[in-house]
Amino acid sequence: EPPPPADGPTMLVTFRREDDSLVDVYFTKRQLGLDFAKKVPIIMKRVRDNAEEIGVQPGWIIEKVGDTDITDMTFKTAFKMLTDASNNLPNVQT
């Protein structure tokens, strides 16, 4: 599990992997590169850009955004949390 980057804003997202283990991933820039259906649970269909660079895999499920468990939220609420948290990240075109 990588430590958080030393400088600049980060967004912590906890994913549940297909083997049921949890992994913390720190995003440091947008575009996040996460592609998922607009429903819960939020399961990665495809990853690209930043998500691919930092090791996110298709099939992983978002469990937490920061310290907040999103598994019992509606998609709309969970997506808003993810969007609001990512708005603090610099927008870096890859």
Residue 36, helix vs strand vs coil: strand
One digit per residue, the tens of pLDDT, for the chain of length 94 reads 566 666 788 999 999 999 999 999 999 999 899 999 999 999 999 999 999 999 999 999 999 999 999 999 999 999 999 999 999 999 876 5
> For 13-25, b where at least 16 C-beta lie within 10 A, e where not — what string?
bbbbeeeeeebeb
Residue 85 contacts by C-beta under 8 Å, 6 or more apart in sequence?
11, 65, 66
**Cα dihedral 88→92→58→87 (10° resolution):** 20
Entry pTM = 0.90
